[in-house]
Amino acid sequence: MPEVRASGGARIRYDDVGQGEPALLLIPGWCTRRDLFQPLLSLCSARRRVLRVDLRGHGDSEQGPGDFHGGDILEDLLAVVEASGAGQVVPVALSHAGFWALELRRELGAERVPRLVLLDWLVTEAPPTFLSTLHGLVSANWRRAREDLFREWTTGVEREDLRRFIIDEMGGFPEEMWARAGREIAAAYGREGSPLRALTGLSPATPTLHLYARPDTHDYLEAQVAFSARHTWFHVMRLPAVSHFPILEVPALIAAVLESFVTGRHTPVRTGPDLDPGVSLPT
């Protein structure tokens, strides 16, 4: 398994499979492991090179001495890209890993990061209830805050494997990691305002695709469609999935849309009277 030595001597481990650029860089979110991307890795690597990393302190990657923050993970990701020798990468970021995708684009520039893919992220401004939950993760009531998240993520989810992933696998991470996640995600929203606003600050504009399933409210989709009307480089697709982790539910669809988007053949279409406008599918 490839690895890089990061700051503090921590080993950051990743997979490097397939051929063809730009390579996809699969970035998990806080309190998840790179294994979550296994269905997508198998499908996407048949067509192009895929890098799949475990975050510092997650999965097979070491934490190193003491605490760490989001900036350390960014440095780790930059080290993985450089060690891989990839000329171009398209970050495929799960949830709040999108903040690192933004930073990779800022650090490496439009030539090396020509596109961005965001998976099931809260791209609008964080509502007060969500910020309150993030702050709760850094408090003595962290378990209650985490349970609130798990309750929201499992509502309407009937597949037992999905429920086990959320409750058992994510729940297996210790208090310190959940506190770190709450601290860093809240700080990122405070710094950026909202992901959509942060995206408008990239120059030149970077083609960006958001694939998501939740929240499934019309208002959330409508806000993104309105944004895409003003910023034609932004594309959104609401996926036919019920959980916060659609890569475990519809990986084949996501892989097809990803390939189409990365190759520049991704065109917004209306696919039928039962679907919302703004949905994008591969041509």
- CA dist 35 and 136 (Å) reads 27
Contact 211, 138 (CB under 8 A): no
Omega before residue 251 within 30° of 0, cis: no
No. of helices (H) and no. of strands (E), the chain? 10, 10
User: Tokens in use for 119?
Assistant: 């998976």
3-state SS, residue 279: coil
Residue closest to 1 by CA, chosen among 18, 21, 17: 17
Catalytic residues: 244
H or E segment and range at residue 145: helix 142-154
Location of structure tokens 């009531």: 141
User: Which residues partner with 24 through β-bridges?
Assistant: 50, 90
The dihedral region occupied by 85, where left means phi > 0, alpha psi between -120 and 50, and beta the remainder, is: left
State residue 163 phi and psi, 5-degree precision: -65, -40
User: Tokens in use for 209?
Assistant: 């695709």
Contact 52, 12 (CB under 8 A): no
